[in-house]
Amino acid sequence: MMRDLIAAFSTATRDRMTGAEWRKRTGDIYTHDLGDGFHAWVGLNRASKQYPLKINPVVGLRYDPLERLLADITGARSQTAATIAQSVGYLTPGNSFLQLQVTEPDDAGRVADELHDLVETYGLPFARQHANTDALLTALRAGGNVPNPDRARLLIPALHFLRGATDETRAGLAQGLAHYGQNTSMPVVAEYHRFANALTTRLPA
């Protein structure tokens, strides 16, 4: 039964989203080109262990130049990661966690339509609002838009670097190094030191 629900919802969602000019990516991820390297982003977290099928839509923004820079430095390549993201329910007037439910295969089309409406009403405006480096930087600094704080400490100085803000890049790296300290036997600390050294070498003297 659950397998049928997943298959029906996946098919209905793909048809609905691609029909609205969203690109299907790996897994349950969709992107929409906003220009200048920015892409609106949708990821669908499924809870499928217990009936009914539940879907938590997450919406956000991907900035390709920033993600490519991080991949080049860290070697952690992802063609689909969001730069900032929020569970869509927290962007609605209810400001609360939201799950869609598929109770039977014939219901998949209605739920896919509901998903698309949420994306168009809340997800796409959120992405467009942040589709410039000033707004993106503000969102990164604000916190809450990047689930992993360690990733945010990479993104902020890297974005300063792309903006040509040398002093801000150095300051961001210094803050990160101060946060992690010098115990490079810890993987997260060693990773940040490698990142900081690599980005620093790209800065003008």
The predicted-structure confidence for 41-94, as pLDDT tens digits, reads as follows: 999 999 888 899 999 999 999 999 999 999 999 987 777 899 999 999 999 999
Mean pLDDT of the 91-98 span: 96
Mean pLDDT of the 115-144 span: 96
Residue 140 maps to a domain: no
Query: Do residues 80 and 154 both lie within one domain?
Result: no
- pTM of structure: 0.93
Q: Which ranges in the chain belong to alpha helices (H)?
A: 2-19, 64-74, 108-118, 124-129, 133-142, 149-162, 166-180, 187-201
Residue 166 maps to a domain: yes
Percent pLDDT > 70 in the chain is 100
Asked whether the CA dihedral 24, 53, 124, 79 is positive or negative, the reply is negative
Query: Do residues 15 and 112 both lie within one domain?
Result: yes
Domain that holds residue 179: 148-201
